[in-house]
Amino acid sequence: MIIGRAVAPLLLTLGAAFALLYLWVRYFAPYSYVEPLGLAAFLGVWAGGYLLFGEHIPRRWRSPERLLRWNAVLAGIGMTHVILWGLLGLAVSPANVRLRALLEGISEVGIAFQSAGHLILTGYLILYSFRWEKLWVLIGFYALSAIILSLRTILPSTASYLTPLVWLGILPLLYFSQWIEKILNQRLGETLLLVGAALVGTFLGWHVLPPMLMVGKTPLYAVLYPLLLAIIFLHGGWLIIPPMLRLVRVSQSEYASFELLTEFLAKQQRTNSAREILQITSQTLGQIPGVGGVFIELRTPFEDSVIVSHFLPPSLQESLRQILHQKSATESYIEVLPSLQRLNPKLPNLAGIFSQKSLSLLQGSALSQTLSLAVVSRIPDGFEEKDINLILTIAEQTVLFLEHLERRAYQEQALTARKEADFLKQTREALLPPAPPSLKKIDFYVLFEQYDRTIGGDYYQIHEYDGGEVVDFWLSDCAGSGIAAAYQMAQARGALNALWMRQLSPDAFILELNDTLKRIFHKNNFLAATLLRFDLKRKEYVIVRAGNPEVFHWNPLTNQTEILRPSGIVLGTTSSQIVGRIIVPERGHLVPGSLFMCFSDGFTEATSPSGEMFGGERLFKLFSTYHTLTAKEIATRIFQEVRTFTEGYSLGDDGTLLVVRYTG
Amino acid sequence: MQIEVLQDGGANELHLALRGELDALTAPKLYEQLTQLVQGKPGISQITLHCRELTYLSSAGAGILLMCMDNFAPKGITLGLTEVQPEVYNILDLLGLTKLMSVTHA
């Protein structure tokens, strides 16, 4: 190109010199045959101009389709040129031979230049994306033309039917021309119109205009001139009509793009997975006329990558994947390349569009997905601006749909969590113990502090039977948390109330409960419980401790507080034979003023901010201090002390305090 | 919690040292590892957990110990805890597990 640019001024100068020489000769020696000089002038100017400014023409303006449009522009200029200068020549008086010859000469040189331009462009179209078929068609066309022209010279009478044959020979050429190929694929009517226009143009150029313009003065000129005119009119038909059709098609194409995009959006609305989204994107991109292959990959931190591709051989897929993986996954990246060979000479000479975008995830702000997309053209440099825009729009929409999918999943997750919370709330309400009965001769109070306001393992119930002569105080703690613990607590509650119906002794009650729980509990689950039974008729209390903390007792007979810690084991894990051997109920006389306090480990394990546990000793001291107060006062005072100890923080677990005094 | 397999056991014994807290989060790991070790060492009859550095035992942890005991008993395997710190011993005692398995103080 450096050499070309150096030659350019010389070519321009030569072109200008030839033009001046041609005009000078034509004017001073009218009708002398100097057209080649004029043609050389045009070629010099064009070649020089191209060498100087050609590289500034964007590559997309040099695509086959654009070249055909330039060809059409050239044909338009040529026709205007012929008509304008021809008419001016006719307007000049025949007496003014020199001026008339000059004007006609300018017109003729224009025709020659235009024809040369068409031939060059046609040749370029053949050689661009070269196929041997195209070259043979071109050679065949000119060979046929040469034969027919020779026949016409030898046998002038054959011209009328041989000439159309020449131009019919060009049809295969039309077929192999990239853009015409598309027209042929699309509408038969348009093709017929095109061919018809070419034939009419040929007829006019060959038979009508030459006699009108009174040309054909020399034998060579008599052959060349009609040929040149015919070429002009052929191109008039071939190259003017397609751009006109093109104008119609642009609006149709825009409508088709709009339809494609609308259909794409409608399909994406119904997708439920990232793979579906990518498949629809791939299929839609595959429907764009210029697209030859699609590769899409969604890289995600949680699962394997999702890869979708369309019309691509595996080796090219892998190459495109590697190209995209070389880019930073967290940064947006868009590149449009006229040839993949710019990236790697081993890749095919096809245009490529690359797009990569990082998608933020709601579930973890530090994590992201990456959508990588590569679209390859069907033919070299085969993307037009509208294709590029459409492809990038679809890529952007795909990102939006993927983000929407992720947002939807997040919302569903939040909805599930909310439903679970609602379920827990409803379950908690369902698990609240029945309202305690109004008891004679007994002052009691239950303080129940839930840890997380949803569901805990603690449960208490007060049950009386035998006309209120026997009262059971039940306090239990189910291992575990959440829905599973709630479910098991609900089962335990059902078993409890079924057993109460049978009015069993404390020992039998516990063993029966153990049997039931062992059947229904999971192996690693268990229930820790305390049963305090008052038998008012016998004036007796019984304590069964099954894995729960000890029971504090203030004995009015000794005027002392004591810790009752009968032997016991958690329920639901081992056979009732073993449980029966371990559990030893503690019995005693019930005297007026007897005070008991049962509690769950939520109180003893309440922790201060420094990490110290409240412990059983502190609890026992408080019980001893407050034993003269009412059941409610004792419970609330102790709770206040525990809250002071934890400095207002929650207990860390469910806490239940059950204070019972026999008043006699 | 860390679980370390100690090498001082006999042919039919398995000794493991537990460090840290055995709670709802770490208990499944203990169960999984114990099950794998038992499967990988047929003929084992005694598993001893050395708990000198076990600082906390939750109800879920106690549940896993019970489940291990229950699963291993039909295979003739006894589970025991040794060198147990007072805080952890109190919890085991409270739950009655000291009456089901061999538990010795630190």
- Output the DSSP codes for A578-640: HHHHH---EEEE--TT-EEEEE-HHHHT-B-TTS-B-HHHHHHHHHHHHTTS-HHHHHHHHHH
In a domain, A423, yes or no: no
- Would you identify the CATH topology of the domain B2-105? Transcription Regulator spoIIAA (3.30.750)
Instruction: Determine contact, residues B16/B46, Cβ cutoff 8 Å.
Output: no
Taking CA atoms, what residue in B is nearest to A581?
Answer: B99
Higher pLDDT among residues A583 and A252, named by residue: A583
Percent of chain A with pLDDT over 90: 23
> Is a pLDDT exceeding 50 seen at residue A185?
no
Closest C-alpha among A587, A466, A591, A449 to residue A531: A587
Q: Which CATH number goes with the domain that contains A653?
A: 3.60.40.10
Q: How far is CA B79 from the centre of its chain?
A: 6
DSSP letter, residue B74 = G
Same domain for A635 and A615?
A: yes
Q: Which of A132-136, A346-350, B32-36 has the lowest mean pLDDT?
A: A132-136
Hey, which of A356-360, A496-500, B24-28 has the most confident mean pLDDT? A496-500
Q: Mind telling me how many Å the CA of A610 is from chain B's nearest CA?
A: 16
Rounded to whole angstroms, how far apart are CA atoms A546 and A585? 10
Contact A574 B59 (CB under 8 A): no
Q: In what order do the strands lie in the sheet with A655-662?
A: A442-449, A655-662, A595-599, A551-555, A560-564
> Is a pLDDT exceeding 60 seen at residue A242?
no
Q: Which two tokens stand for residue B56?
A: 């906390």
Give the number of residues written for chain A.
664
- What pLDDT is attached to residue A535? 94
The pLDDT tens digits for A306-316 are 888 888 888 99
Higher pLDDT among residues A141 and A111, named by residue: A111
Closest C-alpha among A664, A552, A570, A557 to residue A617: A552
- What pLDDT is attached to residue A512? 93
Residue type, A590: L
Same domain for A526 and A549?
A: yes
- What pLDDT is attached to residue A659? 96
> Is a pLDDT exceeding 90 seen at residue A459?
no
Contact A570 B60 (CB under 8 A): no
Contact B100 A549 (CB under 8 A): no
- What pLDDT is attached to residue A254? 61
The pLDDT tens digits for A466-486 are 888 999 999 998 876 666 677
- Which residues of chain B are within 8 Å of residue A548 when distances are taken between CB atoms? 94
- Which residues of chain B are within 8 Å of residue A566 when distances are taken between CB atoms? none
> Is a pLDDT exceeding 50 seen at residue A365?
no
- What pLDDT is attached to residue A188? 60
> Is a pLDDT exceeding 80 seen at residue A243?
no
In a domain, A263, yes or no: no
Q: How far is CA A144 from CA A164, A169, A228, A422, in A?
A: 11, 8, 16, 88
Higher pLDDT among residues A144 and A430, named by residue: A430
> Is a pLDDT exceeding 50 seen at residue A653?
yes
Contact B63 A546 (CB under 8 A): no
Contact A525 B63 (CB under 8 A): yes
Instruction: Determine contact, residues A121/A173, Cβ cutoff 8 Å.
Output: no
> Is a pLDDT exceeding 80 seen at residue A178?
no
Contact B59 A477 (CB under 8 A): yes
- What pLDDT is attached to residue A15? 86
Q: Which two tokens stand for residue B88?
A: 């952890």
Question: Which residues make Cβ contacts (< 8 Å) with residue A18, sequence separation at least 6?
Answer: A37, A38, A40, A41, A44
Question: Which residues make Cβ contacts (< 8 Å) with residue A616, sequence separation at least 6?
Answer: A549, A550, A604
Percent of chain A with pLDDT over 70: 69
Hey, which of A139-143, A155-159, A289-293, A480-484 has the most confident mean pLDDT? A289-293
Closest C-alpha among A489, A398, A380, A457 to residue A129: A380
Instruction: Determine contact, residues A604/A653, Cβ cutoff 8 Å.
Output: no
Same domain for A80 and A45?
A: no
What residues of chain B score a pLDDT lower than 50? none
Q: How far is CA A470 from CA A23, A446, A589, A660, in A?
A: 135, 19, 14, 14
- Which residues of chain A are within 8 Å of residue B64 when distances are taken between CB atoms? 524
Same domain for A173 and A237?
A: yes
* End-of-domain residue from the set A38, A57, A76: A57
What average pLDDT does the segment A96-102 reach? 81
DSSP letter, residue A518 = H
- Which residues of chain A are within 8 Å of residue B96 when distances are taken between CB atoms? 546-547, 567-570, 582-583
Q: Which of A39-43, A275-279, A298-302, A448-452 has the lowest mean pLDDT?
A: A448-452
Higher pLDDT among residues A579 and A121, named by residue: A579
Range of the domain at A37: 1-57
Higher pLDDT among residues A356 and A36, named by residue: A356
Q: How confident is the model at residue A180 (pLDDT cuts 50, 70, 90)?
A: very low
Q: Which two tokens stand for residue A456?
A: 């805990």
Same domain for A210 and A341?
A: no
> Is a pLDDT exceeding 70 seen at residue A175?
no
Q: Which CATH number goes with the domain that contains A291?
A: 3.30.450.40
Alpha carbon distance, N-terminus to C-terminus of chain A: 117
Contact B59 A578 (CB under 8 A): no
> Is a pLDDT exceeding 90 seen at residue A630?
yes
Q: Which of A200-214, A346-360, A433-447, A644-658 has the lowest mean pLDDT?
A: A200-214
> Is a pLDDT exceeding 60 seen at residue A155?
yes
* End-of-domain residue from the set A224, A254, A284: A254
Same domain for A92 and A216?
A: yes
Instruction: Determine contact, residues A202/A235, Cβ cutoff 8 Å.
Output: no
Specify the DSSP element, H or E, that contains A563.
strand A560-564
Vertex A239: Cα angle to A234 and A240 (nearest 5): 105
> Is a pLDDT exceeding 90 seen at residue A305?
no
Rounded to whole angstroms, how far apart are CA atoms A153 and A44? 32
Tell which of A545, A550, A570 to mutate to test the B interface (max B CBs under 10 Å). A570
Taking CA atoms, what residue in A is nearest to B65?
Answer: A524
> Is a pLDDT exceeding 70 seen at residue A558?
yes
Strand partners, A442: A662
Rounded to whole angstroms, how far apart are CA atoms A291 and A284? 10
Same domain for A516 and A447?
A: yes
What average pLDDT does the segment A621-645 reach? 94
Higher pLDDT among residues A459 and A625, named by residue: A625
Model ipTM?
0.79
Taking CA atoms, what residue in B is nearest to A575?
Answer: B70
Q: How confident is the model at residue A1 (pLDDT cuts 50, 70, 90)?
A: very low
> Is a pLDDT exceeding 70 seen at residue A328?
yes
Rounded to whole angstroms, how far apart are CA atoms A135 and A55? 26
In a domain, A266, yes or no: no
The pLDDT tens digits for A44-73 are 887 888 777 776 766 556 665 566 566 666
Long-range contacts, stretch A90-97, CB < 8 angstroms, 24+ apart: A97/A30, A97/A31
- Which residues of chain B are within 8 Å of residue A527 when distances are taken between CB atoms? none
Q: How far is CA A645 from CA A551, A610, A615, A655, in A?
A: 22, 10, 11, 15
Domain ranges in chain B are 2-105
- What pLDDT is attached to residue A354? 92
Q: Which of A4-13, A145-154, A355-364, A399-408 has the lowest mean pLDDT?
A: A145-154
Contact A567 B95 (CB under 8 A): no
State the residue for tokens 């007796």: A540
- What pLDDT is attached to residue A337? 87
State the residue for tokens 């093709």: A191
Tell which of A478, A521, A523 to mutate to test the B interface (max B CBs under 10 Å). A523
Q: Mind telling me how many Å the CA of B91 is from chain A's nearest CA?
A: 9
Same domain for A103 and A202?
A: yes
Same domain for A44 and A74?
A: no
Question: Which residues make Cβ contacts (< 8 Å) with residue A306, sequence separation at least 6?
Answer: A274, A275, A278, A297, A298, A300
Same domain for A480 and A401?
A: no
Rounded to whole angstroms, how far apart are CA atoms A163 and A201? 12
The pLDDT tens digits for A385-399 are 778 888 988 998 898
Residues of chain B in Cβ contact (below 8 Å) with chain A: 24, 27, 31, 59-60, 62-64, 66-67, 70-71, 94-97, 99-100
Closest C-alpha among A547, A551, A535, A550 to residue A583: A547
Instruction: Determine contact, residues B45/B78, Cβ cutoff 8 Å.
Output: yes
For B102, half-sphere exposure in the C-beta direction (CA atoms, 13 angstrom radius) is: 11
Residue A24 φ then ψ, to 5°: -65, -45
In a domain, A98, yes or no: yes
Percent of chain B with pLDDT over 70: 97
Q: Mind telling me how many Å the CA of B75 is from chain A's nearest CA?
A: 16
Give the number of residues written for chain B.
106
Same domain for A575 and A655?
A: yes
Count of domains in chain A?
Answer: 4
Rounded to whole angstroms, how far apart are CA atoms A463 and A484? 26
Residues of chain A in Cβ contact (below 8 Å) with chain B: 457, 477, 479-481, 523-526, 528, 546-549, 567-570, 573-574, 578, 582-583, 601
- Which residues of chain B are within 8 Å of residue A601 when distances are taken between CB atoms? 94
Q: How confident is the model at residue A619 (pLDDT cuts 50, 70, 90)?
A: very high
Higher pLDDT among residues A41 and A248, named by residue: A41
Q: How confident is the model at residue A623 (pLDDT cuts 50, 70, 90)?
A: very high
Residue A70 three-state SS: helix
Specify the DSSP element, H or E, that contains B6.
strand B2-6
Rounded to whole angstroms, how far apart are CA atoms A421 and A284? 43
Q: How far is CA B38 from CA A144, B15, B26, B68, in A?
A: 93, 12, 19, 11
- Quote the mean pLDDT of chain A: 78
Q: Which of A41-55, A197-211, A494-508, A551-565 has the lowest mean pLDDT?
A: A197-211
What average pLDDT does the segment A86-105 reach? 79
Candidate from A480, A523, A547 with C-beta closest to B95: A547
Same domain for A50 and A66?
A: no
* End-of-domain residue from the set A396, A411, A426: A411
Residue A460 three-state SS: strand
> Is a pLDDT exceeding 60 seen at residue A129?
no
Q: Mind telling me how many Å the CA of A549 is from chain B's nearest CA?
A: 6
- Which residues of chain B are within 8 Å of residue A603 when distances are taken between CB atoms? none
DSSP letter, residue A383 = -
Contact B94 A582 (CB under 8 A): no
- What pLDDT is attached to residue A127? 61
